[in-house]
Structure 1
Amino acid sequence: MDQITFHYDTVLSDVHLLLPNSRHLMARLNRVGQPGTGEQHTMATPLEDVGKQVWRGAFLLADLILSQPTTFRGATVLELGAGTGLTSVVMATVAKTVYCTDVGEDLLSMCQKNVTLNRHLMEPAGGEVRVRLLDWLRHDLCTDADAEFGWTEDEVADLHDNTTIIIAADVCYDDDLTDALFRTLYRICNNLRLPCTTYLSIEKRLNFTLRHLDISCEAYDHFRHCLCEMQELKDGRTCFTVEQVKPSFPQCLLYERIEQLELWKVTAVPV
């Protein structure tokens, strides 16, 4: 196994994937999957590359999908900030089409490899994962025919006409990105023809801050603020309702379901 060098901005993941050969392995970024591995991810990354790791929020969402398959069966689904693509793969075992989105060619390439490695899990239900570029800082989808992970016009139409489920797993760790996420969510929901339900998982991370000289959860607090703003929004186009989902559904995957893990449900209905 390659040696990892840790820097001041290195972020460690405490999630280890249990692979079919009964060993906990780490697949380094941009490496072709080893024989027998069912997932590529990294265990340590710089802060800007945290999407290349697997976080507990992805497993919590996957548990929801596996526990309530009828909720998602046959649906067209959009995942925002998909990272390694684990939750999209699980979703495709019951859904019809999953648009698995993120930014960065290296990340999207790794995600595509994971989808390919796990295609056998999706085939029985006929589900399909399409890995696509979706930048929260842009106001449109990339439809450049030369872009490797660009959208076709038919896919954009399918997204807007048929999407009823949006998911995002543990993507709120930076206030600016959280703002961008909610702007993207608002924009997409306003373009959807059908009512849509969004499931957002988040882990409340406690940090000691010099500003407060105390333990705080600033990223989580900002996430909750954005949820409140969305529910209070009155624009005459879409009505948003927000509720917390208690994680009382069965745990199907091997990870620690800590009390700081939360799941939120946002329902968007065209006015």
Structure 2
Amino acid sequence: MSTFEVTSELYSESDFATINTPNGNSVSRFAFVLPAEQNSKSGKCLNGKNREPDPDCNNEERAQYIDPITHNIECEHKSENDQSECLKCVPFKRKESLPQMDKDGDLVVERKQKDVIEIEHHKSTKLDLVGLQIWRGALLLADYIIYNEKKFKNRKILELGSGVGLTSVVSSFFAREVICTDINVGGLLDLIQSNVNRNSHLKNPDCNVTVTELDFKVRYEDYPSELKSTLQDVEYVIAADVIYDDDITEAFVLTLESLLLELPKLKAVYIALEKRYVFTVEDMDSVAPCYEHFLRVFHRRNNRFGITRWKLMQVPLTFPRYFIYEKVKELVLLKISN
């Protein structure tokens, strides 16, 4: 793995009111805005209690399949010869709500709640410690979780490769339990726990957040019995910015395969990443080698018995942006399900 220092592009995109700490780390403030319907008088904003259900919030994504051979995106609703636009894949839009008046006839103005997540992190690291930084994929996945609050509310969520814990913190707004996992190097698990504690005032008070080690290179059968037991009722697995090295990618896919096979209540896996393009003489084109390698390895494991066991789909990025970052076209959100 490279010994060069790498730095996330996030830090040059916006002012996160970053301060340096005596231990050489940085603490940044990631501001976000909750949807107006999560800030109504009828319910509390972050903790998930006493909130009125949003009838327009049940918006299962208009997913598109990824062809396992060509890696092209295919609409799941169209036949091979149908070149017309598929109306089911037109980006989902929420209904426009009519202006509301109070009992005195005054216009009711919806006020969106603004809040801040504080995260301690490194500003630059070597490649094998990139989890100590924050990357765009974590904010993309956080946006998706906030937009799909109804899906994740009162669920048990496992995050793989939690890094400094930002996406797990966002998950704790709505979930009943969040398991943050990563490898225990460079003080990473202690840093995740510190960030969870730092933002505990934001979480659902009924949510239990735990931090523990899960190494992609350790086989599922070798997990501690306590970890295997607590994973049995996990309903969603999430991961952001974990595809950047071929060896780690292969171990990550094996971990996904084990979890998909061993967790009986698992509904779906969501993976957010940013495709990193490079120009290669072999291809005479700009390619995203790490992303392409992930697709190849997953396809190989998914079809190893001659049948396709799981669906890999690309989720359209039509949901709003609640955090401040550049939602660049290279960002991708994948969904794996039965």
TM-score range, shorter chain: 0.7 to 0.9
Mapped partners of 2:176, 2:324: distance in 1: 26
Mapped partners of 1:23, 1:61: distance in 2: 22
Quick one: higher RCO (CA 8 Å, sep 6+), 1 or 2? 2
For 1:74, what is the secondary structure of its paired residue? coil
Mapped partners of 2:139, 2:223: distance in 1: 29
Give the C-alpha shift of residue 212 in structure 1: 5.0
Give the C-alpha shift of residue 204 in structure 1: 0.8
Q: CA offsets per residue over residues 104-145 of structure 1, 9 Å max, x none?
A: 241111111001101111144x222211100111114653xx
* TM-score normalised over the length of structure 2: 0.66
Number of equivalent positions:
248
In the alignment, which residue of structure 1 is the partner of 2:326? 256
Unmatched runs of 5 consecutive residues or more in structure 2: 30-115
Unmatched runs of 5 consecutive residues or more in structure 1: 1-6, 144-151
1:181 corresponds to 2:264: no
Give the C-alpha shift of residue 29 in structure 1: 6.5
Q: CA offsets per residue over residues 62-93 of structure 1, 9 Å max, x none?
A: 00000010111111111111100100110011
Instruction: Give the alignment partner of residue 164 of structure 2, picking from 84, 102, 105.
Output: 84
Alignment of 1:122-201 (within 5 A): 122-124=203-205, 126-140=206-220, 142-143=223-224, 153=226, 155-160=227-232, 162-201=233-272
Instruction: Give the alignment partner of residue 191 of structure 2, picking from 96, 110, 133.
Output: 110
Instruction: Give the alignment partner of residue 146 of structure 2, picking from 45, 63, 66.
Output: 66
1:241 is matched by which residue type in structure 2?
K
1:246 is matched by which residue type in structure 2?
P
In the alignment, which residue of structure 1 is the partner of 2:101? none
In the alignment, which residue of structure 2 is the partner of 1:3? none
In the alignment, which residue of structure 1 is the partner of 2:131? 51
2:312 is matched by which residue type in structure 1?
V
Give the C-alpha shift of residue 176 in structure 1: 1.1
For 1:243, what is the secondary structure of its paired residue? strand
For 1:251, what is the secondary structure of its paired residue? coil
Which of these two proteins has the greater Rg computed from alpha carbons?
2
Q: CA offsets per residue over residues 218-261 of structure 1, 9 Å max, x none?
A: 1111112234335435489x931111100101111111000000
1:256 is matched by which residue type in structure 2?
E
> RMSD of aligned C-alpha atoms?
2.9
Give the C-alpha shift of residue 196 in structure 1: 2.4
Distance 1:68 1:178, change over 3 A: same
Distance 1:123 1:73, change over 3 A: closer
Distance 1:241 1:120, change over 3 A: same
Identify the range of structure 1 (115-124 vs 226-235) with the bigger mean alpha-carbon deviation.
Answer: 226-235
For 2:167, what is the secondary structure of its paired residue? helix
Mapped partners of 1:28, 1:173: distance in 2: 30
Mapped partners of 1:32, 1:49: distance in 2: 15
In the alignment, which residue of structure 1 is the partner of 2:7? 12
1:96 is matched by which residue type in structure 2?
R
For 1:101, what is the secondary structure of its paired residue? strand
Distance 1:34 1:251, change over 3 A: closer
Distance 1:27 1:254, change over 3 A: farther
Instruction: Give the alignment partner of residue 275 of structure 2, picking from 180, 193, 204.
Output: 204
1:24 corresponds to 2:18: yes
Give the C-alpha shift of residue 23 in structure 1: 1.9
Contact 1:172–1:220 (CA under 8 A) maintained in structure 2: yes
Mapped partners of 2:251, 2:7: distance in 1: 25
* TM-score normalised over the length of structure 1: 0.81
Contact 2:5–2:125 (CA under 8 A) maintained in structure 1: yes
Distance 1:229 1:256, change over 3 A: same
Percent of residue pairs identical = 33
In the alignment, which residue of structure 1 is the partner of 2:94? none
